Amino acid sequence: MKIGGTGNSAMLQERFLRAIDWFIPPQARTDAAMLGRARIFVFSHIFGPALGQAISVYLYISDKTRGFQFWVIAISITLFWILPFGMKLIGRLQPLAWFSVENLTFVTLFGSYYYGGVSSPFLPWLLIALLLGFFYIGQRPFTVLGIFCANVGGFFIAYLVKGSFPQHISLEGLSGVGIVSVTTATIYMAMMALYYADVVASQSGRQQEAARHRATAERLRKAMEEAERSNRQKSVFLAKMSHQLRTPLNAVIGYSEILLEDARENEDEQIADLQRINSAGKHLLSLVTDVLDMSKIESNKTDLTIQPFHLNDFIDDVMSTGRSLVTSNGNEFIVDREPGLGIVISDETRLRQAVLNLLSNAGKFTKNGRVTLSASRQTERGEDWIRLSVSDTGIGIMQDNLRKLFKDFNQADASTASKYGGTGLGLALSRHLCRMMGGNIDVQSEFGRGSRFTIRIPAYLEQHRIASVASGSAAIPERDAGQSYAA
């Protein structure tokens, strides 16, 4: 029964609000506070005049003359019923509230003048008119007070001109209308008080909810700061461990190579095992190097060694080092360089690391295909730029995976790591290095038909930095992995 009663109450409340909201157009529902004021305005101007008409009925019975003063009061009370339809028509609360306050003030003082003077039972409504003025249009309190004072002034001027108050009904005869007036005023004020209590409770609830959100946001901020601090400490630790981790690995690789040379001279049966040790050591060193280099970048401990070098010599060196990375899967290695590559002023070691990462990826994901290294020099806006592209005819990358391609510890697809290996740091590290040199890496790819990764850096890094600072712009705009420079 209790549940059913609660459901019926909620249904009745919903129907009641739906009926009230019929008078309120969308432009009057800009926020919860505006909608609340509009609802109480419509409700009070539907049921309020119904209460007020009880006064009209009593006057109709008691005032045998029923002169113009009676009809003015009856019509003024009836006019309140028009205001909900005015809300439906114009959708603006403020002008209707002005009219309502003025009309209530007028009819209260007008009724007091003709029925009882300063002892009139109409006077309690004068206080209600003032309160409603501040409730609906409290943003202009002096205007509300001005209207109130003007009406009260008119009341006393009429008294001074006439010299007395008209007596259409004796004071004893007004006792009944006084009971009706006070009762209706009390009911009306009770409705407003209930609404105001509901508003205060709602605001209190919102304030408590806001306080909870602020506390949650503060906890999240502290947790994020702690996570960032822990991440920085991790990066600093790994950067400091660089020497300690590389030294034993270099020893393993070095001694395996010595043993491998001796085994080849003696035609030892352990050559295959030594080759596996040497290969595994080199692979582990490359993985450790990627992790440590990324940690150095994250902890801001990576410095560039900027010096001039010939780009043709750089390409020859990359060809010599990267050929084995490319041809291990039966791929053809092609180098296409434009004439006049000239001298570059940048970090040769970091640039080589980025290019070799791209060649290693191309060789790993291409089998019995073709890998092409292209080099060119371009002039844009009076500044020289170097463009190094690595193209392959390998497995390619799906468009949905391009945007996450350069994220740390991420590969294009979950199956890639299990099938081809790797940490997913190579491309992220290469892009970080290129951005440190004022450039970037972009990718173009078609799934099943191959990929092209393009490194673009300024030919003269120091001049590029000076020009960027002078113009107040960044070295190069950030680009998504899915965006590429025009070919």
Q: What is the pLDDT of residues 38-61, one digit of tens each?
A: 888 888 788 878 777 877 887 888
Question: Do the beta carbons of residue 461 and residue 345 sit within 8 Å?
Answer: yes
The domain locations on the chain are 2-212, 242-298, 307-471
Tokens, residue 337: 């360089």
Q: Give me the residue label for tokens 């009770």.
A: 190
Sign of the dihedral defined by the CA atoms of residues 38, 40, 41, 46, in that order: positive
Q: Is 312 exposed, middle or buried (0-12, 13-18, 19+ CB in 10 A)?
A: middle
pLDDT at 120: 78
In this prediction, residue 372 carries a pLDDT of: 94
Is the pLDDT reported for residue 20 higher than 80?
yes
Cα–Cα distances (Å) from 83 to 17, 31, 202, in that order, read: 18, 21, 27
CB atoms within 10 A of CB 69: 18
pLDDT, one tens digit per residue, over 177-220 is 777 777 777 777 777 677 666 666 666 666 777 788 888 888 88
56-72, pLDDT tens digit by residue?
887 888 777 778 888 88
Q: pTM for the whole thing?
A: 0.45
Q: Which CATH number fits domain 307-471: 3.40.640.10, 3.40.50.720, 3.30.565.10, 3.90.1200.10?
A: 3.30.565.10
Q: If you search the block for the tokens 């850096």, which residue do you land on?
A: 457
Percentage of the chain beyond pLDDT 70 is 78
CB atoms within 10 A of CB 266: 10
The chain-wide mean pLDDT, for the chain, equals 78
Q: Each residue of 432-473: pLDDT tens digit? A: 889 888 999 999 988 888 999 999 999 988 766 655 545 554
